[in-house]
A and B are shown apart, each in its own frame.
Chain A
Amino acid sequence: MTRRVSITRRAALLSFMLIACVITAFPILWMVATAFKSSDEALQTPPVWVPGHPTTDAFSAVNDVIDIPRSFINSLLIAGLTTTGILLTSLLAGYVFAKYRFRGKNALFAVLIGTMFLPPIVTLIPLFRIVTQLGWDASLVGVIVPNLANAFGIFLMRQFIAGVPDELIEAARLDGASELRIVFRIVAPNVLPALAALAMFAFVYHWNSYLWPLTVLQGNEQASPIVISLARLLTYTGSAANTPQVMAGATLAVLPPLILFVILQRFFVNTMSRAGMTG
């Protein structure tokens, strides 16, 4: 929608947006700037805003304290496998809830959707015990398996699959295609933007998730994802002189979800907007 806006109002709006951008981006920019500072610069009062002599010393020092490559592989395994699982289970269940009719469907859907609004702490303790009884404590299996399906994914997929024309599905059935074939060959290609958005949402969420891996992986540092290694980095490097190291670690941890967001943000924002409203 384009409207005529007076010069002064346009200038006011622009400066407001500029200030908002600067304030919002500041913590991230400061994190990156500090990662390139020397210990001396990090200790100065008043603070050094832009490093005078940028150095990558902090980045090499991080790896002496925590195992960065290992942490990244663990995070990739957790976020990657969980996302794959969520995409599959959500696609199948979303298809059933969008296109099938059977008794009790709405009640089942309501129960599943109800779990979307459940704060994880409510189930954390028995869930931890279940995972321990299954012998999955202190392992990545225990971090990944309980999260392979979730209500948000099912809800999102149902919303978008409902928009796929029934005629397409019926035609495929008449051709003798199996239901699985229909899901992957007809339905999935028609909801690609929503799948991309769900993939991004799940990956970022599980890359960042902290409470559950912290609880499951107690006593197994080898399996730590980057977010937990980062917390350990903070404890091991308490003094302010080590701030550049901590910021270097944080910068590395932030990169994958941020890059993914920049690539897929178009799908993400559109899908979130469309799905959020029907909730």
Chain B
Amino acid sequence: MRTARQNWWAAGLLAPSVGLIGVFVLIPIVLTLWLSLHRWSTATPFGDAEWVGLRNFDALFSSALVGRDFRQALRNTFVYAGLSIALLIPLSILFGVIVHRAAVRGTTFLRTVLFATYCVPMIAVAIVWSKLYSPTEGPVNQALGWFGIGPQPWLSDTGTALISLVFLNVWQQLGYFTVLVVAGLTQIPPSVYEAAALDGARNVKLLFKITLPLLRRTLLFCVVIALINAIQVFEPVATITQGGPVGSTNVLTYHIRQVGIERSQGGLASAMAVTLLLALMAVVTLVFALMRKGDDR
């Protein structure tokens, strides 16, 4: 096909997606950056924005209430993400290894059950878990009682509310990450294991010396995706805890929406969004750097 004709086709076939992503994703990114330097009410046109330089960012890192609330939400978001990753990655390796080995019947069924939770709307998950966690008539405390563990306050206490939301997240996402780990495991040639087995390596040693190092790329991908998913936590906070008690579950997606949509402080909320984006990029860069360091060794 001649180049000119080919270019016209390329442009035509790309136009719908590039146009849509351009208008509804790329332009909004630029606008978020621009708005973060302005005082602007979300209820007014973009043209009404008033230049304030870095004053929004000053407010976010000041000792004023605006700053303290934001920094608490930022901290909560990364604690939530960190705890989610710390639970999700080891569990998905465990389940991934079991499902992959398929030495007994029933692993496909386990995979189906695990993955099914991923399809349940988060709002339904949040509603169901809020009832499961109910301190009096909830089954979770009831079940703990069988093992001699006293009732826990779960969502109603500042010390346990955030971790309660982490459990709910882990429950929903474990199947997805298990599937990713299984996919990574299928790419490790069986000959690697056979060679190691001849050298007398046993199960646990195999896992740490062979499986995990060869799975590093997969795990890196999992960590990054788990982090980005965790930042999106919204439904349980918006419908069940409203950020409470005392701000202990106030996370950024909820907080930025509160400020930018409910209170119409679009400029301030954009500064929060930019800070989140920069923090996220810093953490992802750090994760990659740590992985590369691991490669050199």
- Interface mask (B231-270 → A, CB under 8 Å = 1, otherwise 0): 1101100110000000000001100110011000010011
| CA distance in complex: A27, B174 (Å) | 14
Q: Count of A-B contacts with CB under 8 A?
A: 284
List which B1-46 residues lie within 8 A (CB) of chain A: 1, 6-7, 9-10, 13-14, 16-21, 23-29, 31-32, 35, 42, 45-46
- Report whether B260 and A269 are in contact in the complex, using a CB–CB cutoff of 8 Å: no
In the complex, which residue of chain B has the Cβ closest to the Cβ of A204?
A: B119
- B115 an interface residue at 8 Å Cβ cutoff? yes
Beta-carbon contact of B10 and A102 below 8 Å = yes
Q: Does A254 lie at the interface of the complex (its beta carbon under 8 Å from any beta carbon of B)?
A: yes
- Tell me if B's interface is mostly helix, strand, loop or mixed: helix
Question: For residue B109, which residues in chain A have a CB less than 8 angstroms away from its CB?
Answer: 21
B276 to chain A, nearest CB (A): 7
A:34-58 near B, CB below 8 Å: 34, 42-47, 49
Contact A122 B116 (CB under 8 A): no
Residues of A within 8 A of B127 (CB): 230, 234, 246-247, 250
| B209 interfacial contact with A, CB 8 Å | no
Which chain A positions have C-beta within 8 A of B171? 24, 27
Partner-binding segment picked from B52-60, B136-144, B152-160, B289-297:
B136-144
Say yes or no: B128 contacts A250, CB within 8 Å.
Answer: yes
Indicate if the CB atoms of B179 and A272 lie closer than 8 Å: yes
Please give me the residue from chain A that is nearest to B274 by CB atom: A122
Contact B119 A24 (CB under 8 A): no
Minimum C-beta distance from A131 to chain B (A): 8
Q: Is the CB of B111 within 8 A of A253?
A: no
B104 close to A13 (CB less than 8 A): yes
Complex CA distance for A91 and B187, rounded to whole angstroms: 27
The answer to whether A122 and B32 touch (CB under 8 A), given A28-B116, A210-B235, A272-B180, is: yes
Contact, CB under 8 Å: B115 / A265: yes
Chain A residue at minimal CB-CB distance from B136: A45
B119 engages A258 (CB within 8 Å): yes
Return chain B residues, CB-CB under 8 Å to A101: 6
Hey, which chain A residues are within 8 Å of B132, CB to CB?
Answer: 27, 30
Binary B-proximity of A260-279 (CB < 8 A = 1, otherwise 0): 11100100110011101101
User: CB-nearest residue of chain A relative to B132?
Assistant: A27
- A182-B9 Cα distance, complex, nearest whole Å: 12
Q: Are the C-beta atoms of A258 and B116 separated by less than 8 Å? A: yes
Chain A residue nearest in CB terms to B224: A117
A276's contact among B107, B183, B190, by CB below 8 Å, is which? Answer: B183
For the complex, count residues of A whose C-beta is within 8 A of B. Answer: 99
The reply to whether A1 and B102 contact each other, CB–CB distance below 8 Å, is: yes
Contacts of B115 in A (CB 8 A): 261, 265, 268-269
Residue on A with the closest CB to B266? A125
A186 within 8 A of B: no
Residues of chain B with a CB closer than 8 A to A89's CB: 16-17, 20
Q: Any chain A CB within 8 A of the CB of B87? A: no
Answer yes or no: B212 CB below 8 A from chain A CBs: no
Instruction: Give A130 to B266 CA distance when docked, in angstroms.
Output: 13
CB–CB A273/B123 < 8 A: no
Instruction: Check: B106 CB closer than 8 A to any chain A CB.
Output: yes
The reply to whether A211 and B234 form a contact with Cβ atoms under 8 Å apart is: yes
User: Which of A45, A127, A149 is in CB contact (< 8 Å) with B16?
Assistant: A149
What residues on B are CB-neighbors of A34 within 8 Å?
Answer: 131
Known: A92-B17, A129-B266. A121 touches B110 (CB 8 A): no
Contact B253 A277 (CB under 8 A): no
A273 touches B101 (CB 8 A): no
Nearest CB in chain B: distance from A231 CB, A: 5
Is the Cβ of B261 less than 8 Å from the Cβ of A17? Answer: no
Residue of B nearest to A90 (CB): B17
Contacts A24-B113, A31-B128, A47-B138; A125 near B120 (Cβ below 8 A): no
B66: Cβ under 8 A from any A Cβ: no
Bound-complex Cα distance A158 to B234 (A): 31
Q: Does B285 contact A (CB under 8 A)?
A: no
Shortest CB distance A241–B (Å):
11
Q: Which residue of A lies closest to B9 (CB)?
A: A179
| Listed A/B pairs (15) with beta-carbon separation below 8 Å | A13-B98, A21-B113, A31-B128, A93-B14, A102-B10, A122-B274, A122-B277, A123-B25, A123-B28, A123-B31, A148-B16, A151-B21, A234-B127, A258-B119, A273-B183
Nearest 6 Cβ contacts at the A-B interface: A273-B183, A126-B31, A123-B28, A146-B24, A208-B121, A149-B20
